[in-house]
Homo-oligomer: A and B are copies of this chain.
Amino acid sequence: MTRPAEHTRNLIIKAAVSLFAEKGFERTSVRDIVTKARVNQAAINYHFKGKDGLYSEVLKMAFERLTESAGVDAEELKSLSREQALQRFVHHQLRPLLFKDEMSRYIHMFAWESAHPSKVFRKFIATNTTSYLSAAVDIVRRFLPPNTHERAALCVAIGLMGQCSVFVRNRDLFAQDPFRMAIDERFVDELTDLITRVAIGGLPHVNGANLNTA
């Protein structure tokens, strides 16, 4: 494989990440991608054997980057107090509201997936048993009563992430007319504080007997 090939591959992936994050997988056409990447129409099929293949690659990359990323790094989080760990996790979930770095784009992509799981994503999640949720489960566990069932902890973690992602997904809607929220760094910080406070106050009240179904 020669150099220029690698080059256009990277161009495509970069453009794809950006567009998938912005509009989601289904609303992004291959023509959008090749235009943004300044690459030929057929390049995607040549290099990734199809739009699905490209998405698969992008998801894999995003997933790897995210799980090994600082915001949900298991070791670092364990060195923090549980309150700090939770705060950092929530903030990490909300940061995409600001559209900034690469990680934010990845989280944005997963937010779209959480809304409309695609065929590709379903397969992908099925082969990744080490779930993206495990970090969240570890964090909430530190607040839950010790006898809390694993299934209940999982649901709490899902709820926490849902609480964050609803803002990320609807960013534009809430910025609009009936709500007019000014979504800047201050807003994100305060929203982080809000969600964190509610969680800290609420999680210890989970009944350990909940959701102990097989």
Contact = CB atoms under 8 A, between A and B. Distances in A.
A151 interface: yes
Interface in A156-214: 156, 158-167, 169-170, 172-174, 176-179, 181-182, 186-187, 190-191, 193-195, 197-207, 210-211, 213-214
A139 to B, nearest CB: 14
A194 B152 contact: yes
Q: What is the oligomeric copy number?
A: 2
B155 A162 contact: no
Given A156-B194, A159-B195, A195-B159, A170 B202 contact: no
Nearest to A177: B126
Q: Is the interface of A mostly helix, strand, loop or mixed?
A: helix
A116 interface: yes
Nearest to A125: B178
Contacts of A190: 210-211, 213
Interface in A104-130: 114-117, 122, 125-126, 128-129
Given A114-B169, A156-B194, A163-B159, A203 B205 contact: no
A24 interface: yes
Interface string A83-115: 000000000000000000000000000000011
Contacts of A122: 173, 176
A41 interface: no
A69 interface: no
Nearest to A131: B178
A211 B187 contact: yes
A75 interface: no
A162 B173 contact: no
Contact of A207 (B152, B174, B193): B193
A74 interface: no
19 contacts: A24-B116, A26-B27, A115-B169, A129-B178, A155-B167, A159-B163, A159-B167, A160-B163, A162-B163, A163-B163, A186-B213, A190-B211, A197-B202, A197-B205, A198-B198, A198-B199, A198-B205, A199-B202, A202-B203
